[in-house]
Every structure is written in C-alpha cells, then in structure tokens.
Amino acid sequence: MGTGLYTDPNGTSTAGPPVAQIDALLLEQDRIKVGLTGNLRDFPLVDRWGNLVTGSQIPYGGSGTGYCAEPSDVVSYVDAHDNETLFDVLAMKLPVALTMPDRVRMNTLCLAVVALGQGPVFWHAGTDLLRSKSLDRNSFDSGDWFNRVDWTGASSVFGSGLPPAAENQERWPLHRSLLADPALVPGPADIAASRAAALDLLRIRFSSTLFRLGSAARIIERVTFPHGGPAQPRGVIVMVLSDAVGDPAVGDPAVGEPVGEDLDPARERIVVVFNATPGWQTVAVADSGSLVLHPVHVAGIDPIVRLTSVTADSVIVPPRTVAVLQS
C-alpha cells in the first residue's frame, strides 16, 4: 500500500493489469490490518471479498498472515538489516517524478503502520533518517561504504555507486538510472523533516494505552476496521480504537481486566486514517463530528495533516498522510 500499488503507478508493467493490482492491493490491506493487531490469528475482520474471517485466514505465502496468540509473540517492522532499506524500496517503486517531500511523507506513512499498531515495534537503524544503502538488497558483505549512516542527518548514502553484483546485478539497469538521479538524493532538510515526523509518531504511540493494549482479548474487543469488502477505499485503511467505558462486553477478568475498565481517561475513542493515495480521501466514520485532531499533530512538524477535517459522518484526510483523531 505504501509503495503506490495501483493508486500511484510508476509507469512499469510489472504489477500487471489494473484488476490484478486492485486485488493485490486489497489483499495487502487485509494483511496490514492483521499486522496492526499484532498479527493475531483469532482477530475477526471483514476481508476483501466481504467475508468475516480471522487473521489466520488471510493468506500470506503458504500460510496465514495472523499466527500469534498474543501481540507479544511478534515484532513488527517495515524494513530490517536484510533486503533494501525502506527509503530504497520507495525509490524503486514510487513514481520517479515524485517529489522528495512526498517521498518523505510516504516513508512516514509506512513507519506509521508499525508505530501505531499493537505489540512490540522495530525500526531499522536510520530509517527515520531516510537511510539508504544505494539500493543494495543484501549488504551483509558490502562493507562500510554501503552500510555507513550519517547520524548527523547532513547527508545521504544514496548514489554511492552500484551495489555489489552478487545480490544486485540483475537489477543494475534500474539501479543505474535511479542512482544517477540527483532528485532522489534527500538533503538535510528532507532528513530533518523525516526524523521529526517519525518522532511525532512515537509521541502519538505513547500518548495512549489504546495503542498498546497488551493482550489479544483487549485487542479483539477494542480494535476495529470499519471498512472491508470489495468496495473499501483503495489505498486507505481506517482503524478505530475504543475505550468503551462501561461497555459490559469489554473486559476479560482472566487477564486482570475488569468489565468496562477505563484504559484512557482522556479519550473515549481514537481513529487512525492511513491515506497512502496521491489524492484527498473522504472516509465514512460513525459519529465523526465528535472527533478532533490529535494534539501531537496540532503541535507537530507536519502542516499538511492539520488540514484534516471532519463532518458529521466522515473524515477528510490529505494525500499521503496518516491522521490520528480522538474524542
């Protein structure tokens, strides 16, 4: 979703015809939803076909996406030491003409998918600094030249040369054109903006216990995704976290949670909208007129997210933006 599949095409034909892209995108949205729960196998959701399924029934390779009994059974991430860095993946998959500020926004949105999910979160070293390895997909034996990181944020490694042949040679034709493009090299201001936006995500995560519910029972009772089925918006995910104060259906004494426990006295509900598309998106959210933008957004680095607005029954979110609202 965060790489622009179907919603932000890069001009290549590798993704297949539009109908195949839509199916692939909606499958990825199902997988991301399960990931946001901590990859719970028993989490119920409406899949891309409109069927009520559990996380274990969303396919991933030859098994299910959801395989965890509890959120602590998994560590969620979008990039790690192997394969390309997040910034490099986006360099290869987003439209070449996309501006650097928009690339920064997509980097932030991808990080938000794990930062605002349940369970432990892992960020690859330097991913908040738009870390690059010059498109190297496996830098284990690539030495310091491709693995170096400027922790001051003054420069980027992108464009340091073609990555070693062993793991990359078949992609060298693509690598040559991208690595030679000066517009794909982030400057100090871009890196600083990315880091500040990443820190805002962490502030939001730790602003409420609802982002860290800690048990499968609490997550199943309090996390919902109101849009599913074949008509759900492409490239958009809406997640609702409910405090459900006084709701007798909420509470699991087996894990020490009394019925109707108020986990966050400051909030009744949090709504997160991930808009990975290049356009404004209006999504239906029940009783949205009571929602206001999260205070971290209000005081944060990003002026665009502050353009998010609400009506009585919907939330309107700017392009390439993750917006967090609360009531």
Mean pLDDT of 168-188: 97
Q: Which amino acid is at 253?
A: P
Q: Return the number of other C-beta atoms located less than 10 Å from residue 204's C-beta.
A: 23
138 domain residue, yes or no: no
If we measure between CA atoms, which residue out of 88, 222, 255, 226 comes closest to residue 168?
88
Pairing state of beta strands 269-275 and 236-242? antiparallel
Lowest model confidence (mean pLDDT) among 71-75, 233-237, 255-259: 255-259
Q: Please name which of 210, 208, 203 lies closest in space to residue 299, comparing C-alpha atoms.
A: 203
CA-based nearest residue to 175, from 161, 189, 154, 191: 161
**Confidence band for 14, pLDDT divided at 50, 70 and 90:** confident
Q: Is 271 within the bounds of a domain?
A: yes
Look up the pTM and report it.
Answer: 0.94
Q: Are 19 and 26 in contact (CB under 8 A)?
A: no
pLDDT classification of 253: cutoffs 50, 70, 90:
low
Q: What is the pLDDT of residue 106?
A: 98
Number of domains into which the chain is organized = 1
Share of the chain above pLDDT 70, in %: 95
| 7-21, 28-42, 108-122, 145-159: least confidently modelled range | 7-21
In angstroms, what CA-CA distances link 144 with 28, 133, 141, 147, 149? 34, 10, 9, 5, 9
Both tokens assigned to 54: 């559990």
C-alpha distances in angstroms, 23 versus 26, 213, 323? 5, 31, 25
Classify residue 301: in a domain, yes or no: yes
The C-alpha torsion from 251 through 214 and 226 to 282, rounded to 10°, is 130
Both tokens assigned to 326: 């609360």
> Does the residue 319 lie in any domain?
yes
Predicted local confidence at residue 259, as pLDDT? 53
Is the pLDDT assigned to residue 252 strictly greater than 60?
no
Which residues, in sequence order, are CB contacts of 132 under 8 Å at separation 6+?
Answer: 85, 87, 88, 91, 156, 157, 158
Predicted confidence (pLDDT) at residue 256 exceeds the cutoff of 90: no
Go through the chain and tell me how many residues it has.
327
Asked if the structure places residue 173 within a domain, the reply is no
Q: Are 50 and 22 in contact (CB under 8 A)?
A: no
6: in domain: no
Least confident segment among 75-84, 110-119, 240-249: 240-249
| Bridge partner list, 52 | 46
Within a domain: 251: yes
**Cα 2 to Cα 53, 139, 147, 228, distances in angstroms:** 24, 23, 24, 18
- Going by C-beta distance under 8 Å and a sequence separation of 6 or more, which residues neighbour residue 28? 1, 5
pLDDT band at 176 (very low <50, low <70, confident <90, very high): very high
Rounded distance, CA 28 to CA 26, Å?
5
Residue 54 — very low, low, confident or very high, per pLDDT cuts 50/70/90? very high
- Please report the pLDDT score of residue 261 as a whole number: 80
8 Å CB contact between 41 and 54: yes
pLDDT of residue 227: 98
247 pLDDT more than 60: no
CA atoms of 147 and 136, how far apart (whole Å): 9
pLDDT band at 70 (very low <50, low <70, confident <90, very high): very high
- Contact 63/50 with Cβ under 8 angstroms? no
Q: Phi/psi at 164 (nearest 5 deg)?
A: -50, 150
Q: Which two tokens stand for residue 9?
A: 């095409």
Output Rg (C-alpha) for the chain, integer angstroms: 20
Q: Is the pLDDT confidence value at 104 over 90?
A: yes
Residue 117 is predicted with a pLDDT of 98
At 251, the pLDDT band (50, 70, 90 cuts) reads low
In CATH, what number is assigned to the domain containing residue 263? 2.60.40.1180
Q: Is the pLDDT of residue 222 over 60?
A: yes
Q: Do residues 241 and 269 lie in contact, with contact meaning Cβ atoms separated by under 8 Å? A: yes
What integer pLDDT is reported at residue 229 of this predicted model? 97
- Give pLDDT, residue 82: 86
Which residues span the domain enclosing 264? 214-326
**pLDDT tens across 114-173, in order?**
999 999 999 999 999 999 999 999 999 999 999 999 999 999 999 999 999 999 999 999
Residue 260 is predicted with a pLDDT of 62
- Whose tokens are 């216990």? That residue is 209
Q: Is residue 284 part of a domain?
A: yes
C-beta atoms surrounding 198 within 10 Å: 22
